Amino acid sequence: MDTLNIIVYFAAATSIIALPFLVINWAKFMRVYPNGFPIKSVGLFVIPAIIAGLITSFMTTSTRDEALNFIQGLSGNYTVYVNQQPTRNAEKIISALKGIAPYSAHHSYPTKRIRVDVHSDRGKLTLELGRDSANRQEYWVFYPEHGVTSDNEIGRITTSVFDEL
């Protein structure tokens, strides 16, 4: 996943750097060849953007599946920390996290982030939950282990478990 993370950043940077060249070459090309199409300039911008998008999508799905497999495979011996403090609502939090799923986008954004750490015999899982700006009981779930998934949600949950935070 670390390699994919690097590829996403490299592809996105390449696409951003190529954008001004695309605009300039497009303007020049259209004056000389009004019925043509600047394939190289467009390709240098579009191909890295598509690669970044596809890998980001793959990483989002993969890390969501990884997190859900970890959560669903928990036995009775685990500890849940919320913002690095042990919690009494471990079962309710795990139950809510089992519902991580992709959501259709709507016109809101994540606000205050809540860190959730789950420690078990199988290892440790760290997630960050960003409370939705429009729906206080909806949380955007981020996987902070990778740069791409720490900035792009892997799914969302709806719960009242974190209302007091």
State the pLDDT at residue 4.
93
The more confidently predicted of residues 36 and 149 is 149
Residue with tokens 């859900």: 68
> Phi and psi of 152, rounded to 5°?
-115, 130
Q: What is the mean pLDDT of residues 4-31?
A: 92
pLDDT at residue 105, rounded to an integer: 73
Q: 146 or 105, which is more confident?
A: 146
For residue 56, give the H/E element and its range: helix 39-72
d(CA 55, CA 148): 9
Determine the Cα–Cα distance for residues 89 and 56; give it in Å rounded to an integer. Answer: 33
Confidence of residue 132 (pLDDT cuts 50, 70, 90): very high
